[in-house]
Structure 1
Amino acid sequence: MNTPRGGLRVASVLFGLMALGQLWRVFATPEVLVGGAPMPVWPSVLALIILAILCIWLWRLSNRA
């Protein structure tokens, strides 16, 4: 696990798991309160897109390493 390939794959999987968590938040729409005010869903959609892009990017980099 001391190779760059292994590190990139681990990071990619972690980003993928976080993306799945954001996807769950988008579809389940639990009530999230921040300072007593409800948080909208759009930040989760933005986070989902960013995390998915990072996941795919790192996975592709690991195939080249």
Structure 2
Amino acid sequence: MSSRTYYKTTTVIFALIGILHLVRIRQGWEAVIGGVSISMGVSVVAAIVAGYLAYRGYALSKHS
């Protein structure tokens, strides 16, 4: 696998993760893991981090 393909793949994966977190926030979906309710703040942080990683993957794919 070339580095360009790797960066494009990670861009898509992180973009999807970020979008799903934004949808969770917008729709108000509850997330429970092991009986513990996960706050929306976790999704806000996760959406920002995933968005940044998607952006970096996209930028790196353009330079490869």
Cross-structure match for 1:51: 50
Q: Report how far residue 24 of structure 1 moved.
A: 0.5
Cross-structure match for 1:5: 4
For the pair 1:60 / 2:46, whether they are aligned, the reply is no
Moved more, 10-19 or 32-41: 32-41
2:5 alignment partner, SS class: helix
Name the amino acid aligned to 2:7: L
* TM-score, with structure 1 as normaliser: 0.87
**Structure 1: unaligned runs, 5 residues or longer:** none
Q: In 1, distance between residues paired with 2:34 and 2:61?
A: 40
* TM-score, with structure 2 as normaliser: 0.88
Structure showing greater Rg? 1
User: May I ask how many residue pairs the two structures share in their alignment?
Assistant: 64
1:38 alignment partner, SS class: strand
CA root-mean-square deviation: 1.3
1:30 alignment partner, SS class: coil
**Structure 2: unaligned runs, 5 residues or longer:** none
